[in-house]
Amino acid sequence: METTPTPMDLDAVLALWDRPVGDRADAAADFRRYYADPVPVNGTPMTAEDLVARARALQVAFADRRTELVHRVETADRLVIGFLMHVRHVGPYDTPLGRVEATGRRLRIRVTDILTVEDGKITDIWVMSDDADVLRQLGRL
């Protein structure tokens, strides 16, 4: 009997974001394996299809992605991770100050995710990224 992996398999969860969406037979089903559908992200409900679209947008904007885990704090129902995304900016990227077309620059993006876990799935997400530093690295600040 096959069991559903838990979100505590952080490598598998991060791979959803790193592995090209177009390489999967059913990317939304892959996300549903680890995320509730819908799942609130910073208070806004997002379906599995929305998560796929978000992953696709990041994959269009950034190549050579490598995720470096810096912190991991886990409780019975929470997983908090701090990480660096090392990427190369190769496509349009929507920022709080507007779209930035590809620069080819290598970036280091600081992110903290607070994940609520219930019944083996991520049921709530709070994402905090250092947008000001990203804009500085892109030459916009």
Q: What is the pLDDT of residues 1-44, one digit of tens each?
A: 444 444 468 889 999 998 999 999 999 999 999 999 999 999 99
> Cα-flanking dihedrals φ and ψ of residue 33, to 5°?
-65, -30
According to DSSP, the residues that pair with 117 across neighbouring strands are: 122
Contact 28, 48 (CB under 8 A): yes
- Per residue in 56-86, pLDDT tens? 999 999 999 999 999 999 998 999 999 999 9
CA distances to 17, 28, 51, 140 from 38, in Å = 17, 11, 9, 34
For the chain, the average pLDDT equals 92
d(CA 106, CA 99): 17
Write down the pLDDT at residue 119: 86
Domain boundaries, the chain: 10-137
The verdict on domain 10-137 having CATH code 2.60.40.420 is: no
